[in-house]
Structure 1
């Protein structure tokens, strides 16, 4: 993905070895920029945000925060880079690329690998999740920005659970991270805890909170109920996978059932090997559909068939909002 923070560093107006560092006077250019920042009125803005998936109010909240982040970051770029005529400096993140000359592996060939892992039964189902996510926020007059977060949810024996959310981007370890924490977006240190919440005991027999089954037919019905549909086509199946993995860390048996469902799904095309955003090797499968919901790339562990990630990219240019076909709309990477 584009390195927004590196662009800011290159435009640093007060380097540590500069002649006016510390309490020295501002030069004429800096004075003009400061005067403009303090006294010019901001024009009204219209914001367009990505729609949430079925029932995902938390994602809607995140995307509203991303739009606010765009305001702060774009203002900083205007001051540092010289005004509104400067070319867009904050590009949408780059999509994952398929390794050149790699061999696509059909999903049917992943089924026996998942079955072998299930027979070993070393990976057990765990309630809770560990997920790294990136989402894109857009407005009609500022460059798009991304905000990476990592979320860990762990359940206890008494059905209470904790959720920890931190601001971090593993592709740039140790660097400051953009966050929408609080009333005003800002930069925080890598690994900064955005929230630490403990929830009292609770239980539900409805998906996705209910324990997922480990047979294909039962899992199909479970995912259909998760996304509230009577027809689990491939787009709904992939939405159900996201909901499922945002609540559960699948065991080998559940992953086996899921791979069998995916192997029967229409339109999931094998494209070859990728390295995901956490540096893990994977086999990629693309669903383009009719283009209305974006292009989705599902990434599976090449040894076991477990789902590692899902990336959604734009399928057409939208100059008004500064995005192009291939720009990443949303990405999730799940871990054990």
Structure 2
């Protein structure tokens, strides 16, 4: 019992250290007030939550193993001879690999998307359906890969501004919450525009909310960072998808990587951005005919022994569906 209490204290201290390190509030400037989290802060909070869930899952596995080891050890040794070599935690999903034979430029996709939007196509819809996964990073010499499962989240909005959020993992509903109407009408709650220039301004505010408003437009990397906040709130229509494709084509930085089959089995065009200072690679997947964003994957491009991750490991992904 004492050992388990010590483990809980250590976990609590580790979470406090993570929160202190991520504290965005300066001790020397102000004044400060409540404001929405930006995309980077939301990702950090999600990482902390995943880390906590993973730690609890590992603790459950350890307790179960301690109780069952004596009863099952002999049987497992006889019936599953290779079990000792199997990893104790879930495998990190492999990165997606585009095929270079049919790469389309973003300009070409934007042209197609604009033509499709002129013909009609789906309209913008408030709400989202997304499958997400992100690695929970443990730090230190004993860092291990945690047990994590993809989460499927569906958000439905009501006419009064309230919303229902249902989360599934491994095919089972793990939470269902009703959120009351919000007073905020700032992006991404407000309706996204359907022109490239206005959409860039919108995503700039998603990435860096507050006043005074930022005067420089979001970079391509910042657009990618802000995109999940938009797509977890809205399902884009044909005009908004065309605007996004044109925005990305005009921004530069994303290189065509070819055709790829995403994690929901759909065929799309992959576009890659390398962040050399952070040793990360972002891969955005678009429908080649409509510009609709299908998925976003972030991958490590350098070994991180401190966190037990290697170059080529996936850090996170999102896959959006209608």
1:232 aligns with one of 213, 218, 223: 218
* Aligned twin of 2:49: 61
Distance 1:77 1:288 in 2: 42
How far apart are 1:213 and its partner, in Å? 0.6
Which of 195, 198, 222 is equivalent to 1:215? 195
Partner secondary structure for residue 263 of structure 2: coil
Name the counterpart of 2:310: 324
Q: How does 1:148-297 map to 2 (within 5 A)?
A: 148-168=150-170, 191-228=171-208, 230-292=216-278, 294-297=280-283
- Residue 142 of structure 1 deviates from its aligned partner by 4.6
Question: Structure 1's 117 and 322: CA in aligned 2 closer, same or farther, altered over 3 A?
Answer: same
Q: Secondary structure at the match of 1:102?
A: helix
Whether the aligned pair in 2 keeps the contact of 1:267 and 1:289 (CA below 8 Å) is no
> Are the aligned partners of 1:71 and 1:142 in contact in 2 as well (CA < 8 Å)?
no
Size of the alignment, in residue pairs? 274
Q: CA deviation at 1:239?
A: 1.0
Segment of structure 1 superposing worse, 200-209 or 85-94:
85-94
Question: Tell me, what secondary structure is at the counterpart of 1:239?
Answer: helix
Secondary structure, aligned partner of 2:156: strand
Match of 1:222, SS?
Answer: helix
Are the aligned partners of 1:66 and 1:136 in contact in 2 as well (CA < 8 Å)? no
Give the whole-Å Cα distance in 2 for the aligned partners of 1:255 and 1:64: 35
Flag the 1:203–1:122 CA change in 2: closer, same or farther, 3 A. farther
Which range moved further: 245-254 or 259-268? 259-268
| Counterpart residue number, 2:26 | none
- Taking a change above 3 Å as real, the CA distance of residues 259 and 43 of structure 1, as seen in their structure-2 partners, is same
Aligned to 1:131: 130
Question: What is the CA deviation profile of residues 242-287 of structure 1, one whole-angstrom value per residue up to 9, with x for unaligned ones?
Answer: 1110111010101111111111223211111111111111110110
Answer whether contact 1:133 1:149 (CA < 8 A) is retained: yes
Unmatched 5+ stretches in structure 1: 1-37, 169-190
* TM-score, normalised via structure 2 length: 0.75
Tell me the TM-score normalised to structure 1 length: 0.72
CA contact (8 A) 1:270 1:285 kept: yes
Root-mean-square deviation (CA), in Å?
3.0
Instruction: Map residues 23-38 of structure 1 onto 2, 5 A cutoff.
Output: none
Q: Which runs of 5+ in 2 are unaligned?
A: 23-37, 78-83, 209-213
Matched with 1:117 is 116
Q: 2-side partners of 1:41 and 1:154: how far apart?
A: 40
For residues 196 and 285 of structure 1, the distance between their equivalents in structure 2, rounded to whole angstroms, comes to 34
After TM superposition, give the deviation of residue 156 of structure 1 in Å: 1.5
How much does 1:293 deviate? 5.8
